[in-house]
Amino acid sequence: MAFDRNGLAAPPKPSKLRWGELDEDDGEDLDFLLPPRQVIGPDENGIKKVIEYKFNEDGNKVKITTTTRVRKLAKARLSKSAVERRNWAKFGDAVHEDVGARLTMVSTEEILLERPRAPGTKAEETKASGDSLAQLTKGGAVLMVCRTCGKKGDHWTSRCPYKDLAQPVETFVEKPATAEATTTKGAYVPPSMRAGAERTGTEMRRRNEENSVRVTNLSEDTREPDLLELFRTFGPVSRVYVAIDQKTGLSRGFGFVNFVNKEDAERAINKLNGYGYDNLILRVEWATPRAN
Amino acid sequence: MRPILMKGHERPLTFLKYNREGDLLFSCAKDHTPTVWFADNGERLGTYRGHNGAVWCCDVSRDSKTLITGSADTTAKLWSVQNGTQLFTFNFDSPARSVDFSIGDKLAVITTDPFMELPSAIHVKRIARDPADQTGESVHILRGHQGRIARAVWGPLNTTVISAGEDAIIRVWDSETGKLLRESDKETGHKKAITSLAKSADGSHFVTGSQDKSAKLWDIRTLTLIKTYATERPVNAVTMSPLLDHVVLGGGQDASAVTMTDHRAGKFEAKFFDKILQEEIGGVKGHFGPINALAFNPDGKSFSSGGEDGYVRLHHFDPDYFNIKI
C-alpha cells in the first residue's frame, strides 16, 4: 500500500473509495465520508445553528444539530498574549468534551447584590424586615430586646453577638415530642423533622409566597433591574423575576416581585396598578399561590 | 447579574486563581484535576491530569506559562499552562497545602502539613528558568507553626514570607536567612484557626479570614492590625477588589449541618464589605454549600466563587455595582 502511494503521484484526496480498502481499514477514521459541517446564522436574534454528522458506536451516521444563542460580550481591551491564548487548543479532559456535557451554563436566575438595608438609611433605622416577632415588640417601651442575651436596645435577636453561647430558646422552636420516640426505631426521619432542627424552611417559603406580587402587561424590553428600580421605592424587595422568552431573549410581558413586608407589597399594588410604564398600562396584583 | 455556572469538578472547590491579564481562571478541587477556564465566558480550556490526591492550591507565573499546584498526594507540580504537560514534581513527606510564586517567578514557597511525627513546614524552592535544570532542593525550610499552615505568600520585594494557619498566629519570616521576624499579637489577632489569606493588588496590605467569624486587614511590612470585619459565620475565603475599596468574604456553616436547614438559612453568600468603613455593602447568593474559594479578576469587573457544592460561579458585575454608595 505504502509503495503504491509513493510510486504514483496520487491525488491529495481520493475522491472515490474502493470498497476493498474500506474493509481493511475497519475502525479507522472515516470522517471524510460524512457531509461537511454546516453553520447557519447567527440571525437577528443571535441564534446560530451548527449541523454536524458523525458515526456513532454502531457505525451509523448521526446528524447532530446544535442551536446556540450568540451574545456580544461587553467591549474589553485585551492584551496580545490574552488574544493568543484564546486560540490555544484544548487539552486534557476538555478535548473530548461532548456537545451535551453542558459544563458551563448561564444561571437562569438573576442574582442581585443584596443590600443589608435600603441605600441612604443608617443602621439604626433598619426596619425589622419581615420579622413579625420583632414587630410585636415594637409597641413596647423598649424597641429592641434581644431574646438570646436579654440586652435592651442594643441589637435584635438575629444580630446577637452571643448567639452561639446561649442555649436555643425553647419557646420559639416547638419540638415535636413524637419525633424523638420514632428515631429510636430506626425509621427515617427527614432532617427538618428531627429534634433540634431549625424549622425555618417552610415558614420562609410561605412568607415569600404571601408577599409575592404579579406584574403583567410589561413592555417587551423590561428587564429585572428595571422592575427592581420601579418597586424598590416601596420597600425591601427579596426577589424580582421577569419571564423571558428562551428564543428571542425578550420579556414575555409578565413578572413577579417579592416583598419582604406585606404592607410594602400592598402599597405597591395600590400605587402601581394602572400605572403607565413604557407606553403600557401595568396590571399589578397579588400572585395566586401555586397549587401544590 | 446572571452568573456563569461552571460544573467541571466533582468534589468541593479548594482554590481559585486568575492569571495576570485576567483572561484565564484556574480552579483547584478535591477531585485531583486542576482545571483552567476562559474567564470571560466560562468555557473550559483544559485540565491538568497527574495528581493523585486533593489539590489544595495553585499559582500561575506572571507570563502565564507555568502553573504550580500543591496536592495532598505529597507533591507539588510544575505544569505548562498551554498544554497541561508536567514539567517537574517536588516530592515531600507530607501533603502540600499552599503554593506561591515570588515576584519575578524565580522562587516559590510551598507549605506542607503536619503528618505522622513531622511538623508543618514552609519550603522555599528555586524555580529554574528552563524546566530541564529544575531541582528539588530547598533553599530554606522554615518550621515553627503549630498545626496546618493554611497559606504562605511572599512579602514586598521577596524579602519576607508571610504565613498563617491553624494556630491563629500570623508569622513573618526573613526569606534570606530563614529567621522569624514578627508574630501577630495574641490580643488583636484571630482567636481561631486562620483559613485564608489574600494580598492586595499592590501588595501593601493583606486580609486574613478565620474560623472565629471575622476577617482582619493587616499592614504587610509592620504586621499592624488595620481593620476588622465581623460576620456571623466562619470565614473560609477572602479576597479584595483591585478596583474599589471592597473586601469579599465567603464562608458558611459547617458541612455537617448543611442538610439540617433550609439553604437560605445557611448563609452561603459572598459578603461584600467596605474596606475602610468596615460596613457591609451586600451579599451575593447562589451556592448550595459553604464558599471555599474566592478570587477577583485583576480588572475588578468580575469575581468568581467556588463552593463545597463543586460549582464555580463566575459573576460579571452590573454597571450599578461601580457606583454603590453606603
> How high is the mean pLDDT in each 10-residue block of chain A (292 residues)?
42 55 56 80 81 83 84 69 90 77 82 71 42 42 62 68 52 43 60 60 52 88 85 86 82 87 88 87 83 53
Q: What is the pLDDT of residues B94-111, one digit of tens each?
A: 999 999 999 999 999 999
Cβ burial of A184 (10 Å; 0-12, 13-18, 19+) is exposed
Interface contact flag, B264 A204, Cβ < 8 Å: yes
Residues 6+ apart with CB under 8 A from B33: A92, A93, B9, B47, B48, B49, B51, B55
Pairing of strands B86-91, B96-101: unpaired
Residues 6+ apart with CB under 8 A from A124: none
Interface contact flag, B21 A91, Cβ < 8 Å: no
Interface contact flag, A225 B320, Cβ < 8 Å: yes
Q: Using alpha carbons only, give the angle B134, B138, B139 rounded to the nearest 5 degrees.
A: 105
Strand pairing partners for A277? A280
Q: What is the pLDDT of residues B85-96, one digit of tens each?
A: 999 999 999 999
Q: What is the reported pLDDT for A45?
A: 77
- Are B12 and B287 spatial neighbours (Cβ–Cβ below 8 Å)? no
Q: Which chain B residues have a beta carbon less than 8 Å from that of A102? A: 7
Q: Output the DSSP codes for A19-43.
A: HHHHHHTTTS--GGGSPPPEEE---
A90 touches chain B (CB under 8 A): yes
Segment B177-181 shows an average pLDDT of: 92
Q: Give the phi and the psi of residue A179 in degrees, each rounded to 5.
A: -60, -40
Q: Is the dihedral of CA A136, A204, B271, A150 positive or negative?
A: positive
* Residue from B36, B80, B278 to probe the interface with A (highest A Cβ count within 10 Å): B36
Among left, alpha and beta (phi > 0; psi -120 to 50; other), residue A194 is beta
DSSP E strands: which ranges in chain A?
A: 38-40, 47-55, 61-69, 104-106, 212-216, 237-244, 251-259, 276-277, 280-281, 283-286
Interface contact flag, A115 B281, Cβ < 8 Å: yes
Q: Which chain B residues have a beta carbon less than 8 Å from that of A192? A: 260
Residues 6+ apart with CB under 8 A from B308: B12, B13, B252, B255, B258, B287, B289, B290, B291, B292
Distance separating alpha carbons of residues B238 and B249, to the nearest angstrom: 5
Give the amino acid at B84: G
Distance separating alpha carbons of residues B96 and B139, to the nearest angstrom: 17
Interface contact flag, B43 A93, Cβ < 8 Å: no
Distance separating alpha carbons of residues A273 and A251, to the nearest angstrom: 19
Q: Which chain B residues have a beta carbon less than 8 Å from that of A194? A: 260
Q: What is the reported pLDDT for A97?
A: 73
Distance separating alpha carbons of residues A216 and A158, to the nearest angstrom: 36
A99 touches chain B (CB under 8 A): no
Interface contact flag, B272 A204, Cβ < 8 Å: no
The partner residue sitting opposite B282, judged by closest CB among A91, A107, A114, is: A114
Percent of chain B with pLDDT over 70: 96
- Are B132 and B78 spatial neighbours (Cβ–Cβ below 8 Å)? no
Q: What is the mean pLDDT of chain B?
A: 91
Distance separating alpha carbons of residues A107 and B4, to the nearest angstrom: 6
Hey, is A234 helix, strand or coil?
A: helix
Distance separating alpha carbons of residues A248 and A69, to the nearest angstrom: 9
- Are B294 and B239 spatial neighbours (Cβ–Cβ below 8 Å)? yes
- Residue window 169-188, chain A: list those with CB within 8 Å of chain B: none
Instruction: Centre a 10 Å sphere on the Cβ of residue A195 and count the other Cβ atoms it contains.
Output: 14
pLDDT band of residue B304 (cuts 50, 70, 90) is very high
Q: What is the reported pLDDT for B125?
A: 94
Give the amino acid at A82: A
Segment B263-280 shows an average pLDDT of: 82
Q: Which chain B residues have a beta carbon less than 8 Å from that of A114? A: 269, 282-285
pLDDT band of residue B252 (cuts 50, 70, 90) is confident
Interface contact flag, A111 B3, Cβ < 8 Å: yes
Q: What is the reported pLDDT for A152?
A: 64
For the entire predicted model, the pTM comes to 0.66
Closest by CA position to B293, among listed B216, B197, B202 = B197
Residues 6+ apart with CB under 8 A from A158: A131
Closest by CA position to A102, among listed B299, B5, B164 = B5
Residue B76 pLDDT > 90:
yes
pLDDT band of residue B324 (cuts 50, 70, 90) is confident
Q: What is the reported pLDDT for A119?
A: 54
Percent of chain B with pLDDT over 90: 79
- Are B169 and B208 spatial neighbours (Cβ–Cβ below 8 Å)? no
Distance separating alpha carbons of residues B203 and A174, to the nearest angstrom: 52
Hey, is B55 helix, strand or coil?
A: strand
- Are B284 and A114 spatial neighbours (Cβ–Cβ below 8 Å)? yes
Distance separating alpha carbons of residues B61 and B289, to the nearest angstrom: 31
Q: What is the reported pLDDT for B139?
A: 92
Q: What is the reported pLDDT for B35?
A: 95
Q: Is the dihedral of CA A123, A128, A133, A136 positive or negative?
A: positive
Q: What is the pLDDT of residues B195-217, one digit of tens each?
A: 999 999 999 999 999 999 999 99
Residues 6+ apart with CB under 8 A from B226: B205, B217, B218, B219
Q: What is the reported pLDDT for A275?
A: 87
Hey, is A85 helix, strand or coil?
A: helix
Torsion angle, CA of A20/A21/A26/A30, rounded to 10 degrees? -130
Q: What is the reported pLDDT for A127?
A: 39
